[in-house]
Each structure stands twice: as structure tokens, then as C-alpha cells.
Chain A
Amino acid sequence: MFPELNNLLNTTPDRAEQGKLTLLCDAKTDGSFLVHHFLSFYLKANCKVCFVALIQSFSHYNIVGQKLGVSLTTARERGQLVFLEGLKSSVDVFFRAQEEPHPLQFLREANAETLQPLYEFVREALKPVDSGEAAWRYPVLLVDDLSVLLSLGVGVVAVLDFVHYCRATVCWELKGNMVALVHDSVDTEDEENDVLLNGLSHQSHLILRAEGLATGFCRDVHGQLTILWRRALRTTAQREQILTYQYKIQDKNVSFFARGMSPAVL
């Protein structure tokens, strides 16, 4: 996890809020550093994490996690982390007996109308274990990412239903948290992706949006992060708080600074 991002979000692993959906989105840049941040954050917070990783392999996340101070291998071995490696297990869909439902069953179907098997996998992974003492604090679901499901042929309503059911189970029933990454198709007009992004924005409590700079690539400033807390209208504080920072990704850390205040230009 990145300590500076924790400061900006005003949170630490010990006193994070529960029952929240956090939406990560990126536009014209790679927002996966936010996924690595939340993965290491919740592992350090001693939460039970279910990670639906559809983009990269386990070893990729493990290598980055080690730079951030967590070992995914250890977490998986002691039962803290349930890891669905999409790239590897997608092949199992074709070599399994068809009666057994696979989380990525939708890959076999021409028009995937439902992601219920994937939801059942998540529910099974995060259900509280009756072992007398609570080993982990609260469950967390991490999805990287949801846009690839649209590319794989799943309808946008099916993806929204999957997020709805995960939210109902993980956030409401189990009082856990959910973090999902969605890409924003700014230049390509992808209507389904826009519906997915807007639909999730309405349901989220916190939206982190990473954008590339409008002027292009820069060596010292890699992009801009917008943090949006969606609060109800009725709070006496500011209705919505929007903060914008620029960031630079280093080897083991990400540094944040106010716009125009990069150390390289000061």
C-alpha cells in the first residue's frame, strides 16, 4: 500500500470503513497501481480477501506485492487470500466435466446472460467459517477488472447484476468491502462500458479516477488522480468532496502532490 494515498483517503488499515464499494477507473493510462495498493492494504488489515484476477497472472501480483510488503503466496497458504487466476483457470473450463459449474462458465456460452457461477464462487470464498474464533476481520472482494468481462461477451446488465449480488452479499450481509476496476473508454465510444461505469458510479461510495495527462507522457508526472466521495445530499458538510492530485509511480512507492507542484518543476 502507498502511505501517501492512505493519507489522502484519510484511512489506515486499522480503521478503514466497512460496507463500502470503491470504484477504480482509469482513462488513457494504467490504473492497476490502485489495485496493487488496495490488495496490499486489505491484506495488511488482516482481512479475508477474494481476488478475482482476470488480467494478470498470480506471479505478477505476487512480485508487485512483495515490493509493497505483502506475500501473496503466504497469504494464500494460510487461507487469507482466495485467488481466482483468470488466465490459468479459463483453460480448465474446457477440460472439466461439464456438470461441475466453473466460475468462468460464461466463456463456454455464446451469449452469456448471467455471471451467477462467478458470484457463487465469491460467496463460497468469503462466507464466514465456523471455526469458533474470527480469524480475519471482514471480507473484501477485489476485481481486476470488470471491463474485460464486457470484452469477453458478457452483457452489461449481467455484469451489473453480478456487482449487485456481490454488493448485497459482501458489503451488506457480511459488512465487508468491495473494490473493482473499470476502464473508461474516453476516445472509443463504447456505450456498454459507459453504462457499466455510470451504473457503478451511482452505487459507489468512493471513486478513484486515474487519468493520463492531457499533454501526453511526462517523465516526472505520470498522471492525475481524482478522488470523489459520494455522500448523500443531506450531510451538512460539502455535498461531494472532490480532490485532484498528480502522481509519479516509483519502484516501491507512488508519490502524490498537488497539481503543478511536482518536485521536478519546483
Chain B
Amino acid sequence: MLDSLLALGGLVLLRDSVECEGRSLLKALIKKSALCGEQVHILGCEVSEEEFREGYDSDINSRLVYHNLFRDPLNWSKNGKAFPEGPLGALRALCRRTDPGPVTVALDSLSWLLLHLPCTILCQTLHALSHRSSCPDSSSSMERVRVLGLLHEELHGPGPVGALSSLAQVEVTLSGMLSQTSANILYRRPRQRPTHQTQCFSILPDFSLNLQGMSTLESQPHPDPPTTQADPTAHLTFNLRLSEKEKEAKDSLTLPFQFSSEKQQALLCSGPGQATSCIFYEPDAYDDLDHEDPDDDLDI
């Protein structure tokens, strides 16, 4: 279910495309987290803070902490306002956060980070981010931080996308035309088989999720819906099998060019019912008739 994506911790990968953008879904999931009382940290690389906060009301906006990598990510202006260590430093700073309580981190977008950082370092940092331990000296298990990452899948090759996909606990691929948007959701729960669902949804102007129909397919990461195969032996214009009578008739048929003993007898003695035939020949003056038997020297 699309609205239970946030129940699991770990990395949630939102894969969108030019035809079907995913930032609205990201904002809808952020709103859900904020409504649950969590704090949400957003690493914004692609849109300005105003554009990102647009559409949220004030109490949700108060729970969002926007780390601005849009204005000057590479420190070109050199006015001291940019992150001193660049995008990687900003990402690592999120790992070192010490706020208590559950927290959601939204990366807008992972594509931007993947274009500017080596894939291995990004994957290691993401893994550290989503398995963060809140207090190193406490005996509690590692706190699961929820990480939402937006990925534009046409911008990267299969290698980096596959690496991020294998890190993700949930992978949502958006597709759809015009008014119908659907999400293919792949769950990777630990020690369980991956499960797959497809859900149609729409997003309302206030970034609430409006869920529509859903279908579930178990244990198939990349399924085709199983179609019932038509029986190819139905509705034929010819027989595939023989009845008993037909089998007997077939077995008792003598083939025309098969030389059996009956045929030999029939050839050697001309049967009683056969009409004898004669040839009458009148030789003319130029014929050279030889009355010797040309087969005389044959030893039959």
C-alpha cells in the first residue's frame, strides 16, 4: 500500500521520469511524516526553498528543515553562505545529526547527488544515513531513519540505478499517462521474499494522497500479469487423434509402392478376371523385323 511505505524504515527510492514526475509524491510522503509528528530534513538540490514549501500549510512547514543546496551548491559565489564541504559534507552532516526521536530525511534529488558524487561514496553515505545509531553508548539497537530519495531514472546507467535499488527497502516506480498515475511498489523486507504491488493514485492540491485501485503480485520482482494460455488444441479443423476403427483401417492399408507377397503373386500370374490384350501390328516396307528374341541371352 502506498500509504504504508513509511512504516518500514530505511531507504525509499522514488523513481520518476520526464513523463511522470515524482516530486509531488515526495512532498505528499513528507506531509504524511510531518503529520505523524516527525521532523523532516530536506536536502534540496533541484528547486528553491520557496518552491518546495509551496502548497504546505504553516504547521507542516514548521516541521520541515530545509538544507539549501540549490542556491550555491558548488560554492561559486564564495560569499561564505554555501556548505563549506559541498554536497558530500551536507549529506554527512545529516548523518551526524543528534536529534532524538524518529526522523525522516528527504533527498531532492538523488540524481543530483549521483551526478556530483561517486556512486560508491553516495551508497556508503546513504547506508550510514539509514542505519544511524542515535546514541553510540546506549544499549538500544540502531535507530532506523527513514530516507526518501527521488531518482530520475533516465539520467543514469543501469549500474548506479541497480546499486541504489539494492540499498532500498522500498522501490516505487511511477508511470502513467495524463490523469492516471500508477506506482509499482517493490518491498524488500529482510529475510522475506520481495513483494510487488501496483497502485493507482492521485495527489490532491494540498498534497494528500488519494489512493485508487490496487493489485498485488507476490514474489515477483518484475512480473508480467499471468495470462491464461489459450488451449492450442481446441477448435482445430483437423483431427489430432485417431479413433480405434480409423487406426485399424490405417494399419490394414497396403501402400501402393510397397512390394508385399500378395503383390508379387498378383503380378506373376495374371488373374482370371483379367482381359487378355493383344497388339496387332502391320509392318510396312521399311521395317527391319528381327525375329530373334533380344532377351535370349538373359539368364532368367
Chain B residue numbers with a CB within 8 Å of A232 are 21, 23-24
Contact with B along A193-234 (1 / 0, CB 8 A): 011001101110000000000000000000000000010111
Say which residue of A160, A194, A233, A235 sits within 8 Å of B115 (CB atoms): A160
Chain B residue numbers with a CB within 8 Å of A168 are 48, 70-72
Interface residue ranges of A93-122 to B (CB < 8 Å): 114, 116, 119
Is the pair A233, B25 in contact by a Cβ cutoff of 8 Å? yes
Say which residue of B25, B28, B72, B179 sits within 8 Å of A238 (CB atoms): B179
Shortest distance from the beta carbon of B188 to any chain A beta carbon, whole Å:
25
Is the pair A233, B71 in contact by a Cβ cutoff of 8 Å? no
Is the pair B76, A234 in contact by a Cβ cutoff of 8 Å? no
Interface band, chain A: 20 to 34
Kindly state whether residue B143 has any CB partner on chain A within 8 Å: no
Is the pair B152, A198 in contact by a Cβ cutoff of 8 Å? yes
| A232-B23, A234-B207 given; A239·B116 CB < 8 A | no
Say which residue of B48, B74, B181, B202 sits within 8 Å of A172 (CB atoms): B48
CB nearest to A242 among chain B residues: B178
Give A160 to B112 CA distance when docked, in angstroms. Answer: 10
Interface band, chain B: 20 to 34
**Total residue contacts A-B, CB cutoff 8 A:** 66
Give A37 to B71 CA distance when docked, in angstroms. Answer: 30
Chain A residue numbers with a CB within 8 Å of B50 are 172
Is the pair B76, A116 in contact by a Cβ cutoff of 8 Å? yes
| A199-B152, A203-B46, A239-B179 given; A164·B73 CB < 8 A | yes
Shortest distance from the beta carbon of A218 to any chain B beta carbon, whole Å:
28
Chain A residue numbers with a CB within 8 Å of B89 are none
Kindly state whether residue A161 has any CB partner on chain B within 8 Å: yes
Kindly state whether residue A157 has any CB partner on chain B within 8 Å: yes
Chain A residues with CB under 8 Å of chain B are: 114, 116, 119, 157, 160-161, 164-165, 168, 172, 194-195, 198-199, 201-203, 230, 232-236, 238-240
A-B contact pairs, 28 of them (CB 8 A): A114-B74, A119-B76, A164-B73, A168-B48, A168-B72, A172-B48, A172-B50, A172-B51, A172-B70, A195-B155, A198-B18, A198-B154, A198-B155, A199-B111, A199-B115, A201-B18, A202-B152, A230-B18, A233-B24, A233-B25, A233-B181, A233-B202, A234-B24, A234-B28, A238-B178, A239-B179, A239-B181, A240-B178
Chain B residues with CB under 8 Å of chain A are: 18-19, 21, 23-25, 28, 46, 48, 50-51, 55, 70-74, 76, 111, 115-116, 152, 154-155, 178-179, 181, 202-205, 207
A195-B155, A238-B178 given; 18 more Cβ-contact pairs under 8 Å: A161-B74, A172-B50, A195-B154, A198-B152, A199-B115, A199-B152, A202-B21, A202-B152, A203-B46, A232-B21, A233-B181, A233-B202, A233-B203, A234-B24, A234-B207, A236-B205, A238-B179, A240-B19
Minimum-distance CB pairs A-B, first 8: A233-B24, A198-B154, A201-B18, A234-B203, A233-B203, A172-B48, A232-B24, A234-B24
